[in-house]
Amino acid sequence: MQKVLPLSDYRWLALPPLSFLLLLVGLPLSRLLYEGGLAFSPALLGDAYLQWRLGWSLLQAAATCALTLLLGLPLAWVLAHFEFRGRTLLLRVLMLPFVMPTLVAGLGVLALFGPHGLSGLNLQDTPWLLLYGNLFYNLPLLIRAAVDGFDHVPASRLMVARTLGASRWRTFWRVEWPVVRPWLASALCLIFLYCFSGFGLALLLGGQRYATVEVEIYSLVAYELNLADAGALALLMLLLGAVIALLYALIERRLARPDKRSPPLRQPVQGWPQRLLLLASLLLLALFAAAPLLAVLLRALLADAAAWRVLLQDDTQLALGNTLRFSLLALLLATLLGLLHGLAAQRSAGLRALMFLPFMVSPVCVAFGLLLAYPAYSATLALLVAAYALLAYPFVAKAVVSARDALPAALPNAARTLGASPWRVFWRVSLPLMRPALRRGMAFAAATAVGEFAVSLFLSRPEWLTLTTLIYQHLGRPGAANLEAALVLSSVLLLLALLAFMAIEWPEKTHARTS
């Protein structure tokens, strides 16, 4: 008879994702470090400016985490507790900042807070704009994770608390907060790593003063080919990132606890205090998450009809097709890897931390390392899709880990006693319970796959043109027509992404039965 594994011990499932990480990150990075040798300048780490940069990288990442938590948690609470029209749509729209190419997002932000911004406030080249930009990109991550967390609070416990006369605040603090905490941990870890090694928006909005260490690494590798210094810096960043990720993993594993799952309890908005609360929340969301996007949309709509003709060009058709094709391929691979890694990681803090590896390593080092390690495959589509999947799969893995943690043991156990095979238990019990979180992870994964991150660093071919690269091509040339084409294409990108999010996260009717 086949040996039956306890449900929670699926560590062997990590084999495919770990091999993938080894092939796409481990080997290339080692190859690059080997090429660079140990001859890095000893003065490198003593450089006061670099230390300042490192300090700044850490500080702004921590500040962004604190701000997103402060702002995001109350907003998520409102979104999780009240039922109102368009709520589902709003949760999908919330993820749109993620697909916006950095430069276009920058254009949107400056249209509001630039020298001639609509707000009348010029914040260009101040740290405020930089923090605003960081909130714009990261708030969605936190809110979506927190809403999921709130949805896992058992309705019965909430009702008991209220019947016993607990105030809203006390209910939040004693009943909801313990359940939501682990969901926040992974989102905050991701936000920290994103801001810590961030490259694009900080530089664009804050100016060169606020450049992160990753910018230094990029210029050492791509321009100076000083692999020794770059390698030393990249290792340092990796180490710091690993400490953060491990810290997260330990915290999350400690906090994680299964809960009785019941359909979330949402009440309709009643009375003016609640209406006001909802309105204020929506306004805040509009200001921090939607305003730059709306500015881009508005500028596209105000563009000449001629500007929209860019949609009929061959290049645009090619880019649309490629964007769909690559995102789909990357999403499939990312879902598979993320699911395996997420399921395997439940018992192991190390595996939990490792799923964030793609965000801990310097992208430019990985790109050049891949070139060194696999020159023959360097300009192949397979490698490109793998790179997309690499950056997308942590979102899936993270969502699966959180959902798996919250999974009540009683249901799968009952199924097992009734004679269901482990596979059947997974397919019919565990997976359906994890599906909402899985879908949210997939939507984020799809969003990063359409985004720009990997594109510019890897070898690419003109026939692989995507919407994002096409937008950057237009912004690589002077002329009003190019700017308008970029804005129109960005609007199309937003619309496409929204459709994709709705398809991936199609509201499920079935899980109401599970209560």
Partner 1 sequence: MFKKSVLLLALAGVSLTTLAAELRVMTHSSFSLPKERIAEFEKQSGAKLAIIKGGDAGEMLNKLILTRANPVADVVYGIDNTLIGKANAAGVLEPTSSKVGRNVAVASLPGAVAIDYGYVTLNIDKAWFAGSKLPLPATLDDLTRPAYKDLLVVENPATSSPGLAFLLATIAGKGEEGAFQWWGKLRDNGLKVAKGWSEAYYTDFTRNGGARPIVVSYATSPAAEVFYSKEKLAESPTANLLLKGGVFMQVEGVARVKGGLQPALAQQFVDFLRGEAVQKELQTSMWMYPAVAGVALAPVFKHAAQPASFSNPDLKAMQHKTAAWVSRWTRLVIKNAP
Does the protein bind partner 1 through residue 231 (CB under 8 A)?
no
User: How many Cβ atoms from other residues are within 10 Å of residue 73's Cβ?
Assistant: 18
By CB under 8 A, how many residues form the interface with partner 1? 56
Q: Inter-axis angle of helices 480-504 and 467-474, to 10 degrees?
A: 160
Q: How distant, in Å, are the alpha carbons of 308, 349, 353, 455 from that of 356? A: 40, 12, 6, 20
Residues 91 and 81: their CA atoms lie apart, in Å, by: 13
111 near partner 1 (CB under 8 A):
yes
b/e for 425-458, b at 16 or more Cβ within 10 A?
Answer: bbeebbebbbebbbbbbbbbbbbbbbbbbbbebb
How far apart, in whole angstroms, are the C-alpha atoms of residue 191 and residue 93?
19
Is residue 63 within the footprint of partner 1 (CB under 8 A)? no
Helix (H) or strand (E) holding 83, with range, is: strand 82-83
222 binds partner 1 per the rule CB under 8 A: yes
Q: For tokens 């910018």, name the residue.
A: 215
Draw the binding track, 32-51, toward partner 1 (x: CB under 8 A; -: no contact): ---x-------------x--
CB of 125 to partner 1, least distance (A): 7
CB of 36 to partner 1, least distance (A): 11
Counting contacts by CB under 8 A, is residue 126 touching partner 1?
Answer: no
Contact between residue 139 and residue 68 where contact means Cβ atoms under 8 Å apart: yes
Decide if residue 203 touches partner 1 (CB under 8 A).
Answer: yes
Determine, following the binding rule CB under 8 A, whether residue 204 of this chain makes contact with partner 1.
yes
Q: Residue 394 and residue 157: Cα distance in Å, rounded? A: 32
Nearer to partner 1, 164 or 376 (CB): 376
Near partner 1 by CB under 8 A: residue from 262, 348, 378, 413: 378
Taking the least distance from each CB to partner 1, the nearer of 103 and 244 is: 103
Among 129, 135, 234, 307, binds partner 1 (CB under 8 A): 307
Q: Would you count residue 311 as binding partner 1 (CB under 8 A)?
A: no
DSSP 3-state of 104: helix
Find the part of the chain contacting partner 1 (CB under 8 A) among 1-9, 85-93, 348-356, 376-384.
376-384
> Is the separation of the CB atoms in 152 and 256 below 8 Å?
no
**Contact call for residue 229 and partner 1 (CB under 8 A):** no
Smallest distance from partner 1 to CB 53, Å: 9
What residue ranges bind partner 1 (CB under 8 A)? Answer: 35, 49, 103, 106-107, 110-111, 114-116, 122, 124-125, 203-204, 207-209, 211, 215, 218-219, 221-225, 304, 306-307, 314, 368, 371-372, 375-376, 378-380, 456-457, 459-462, 472, 475-484
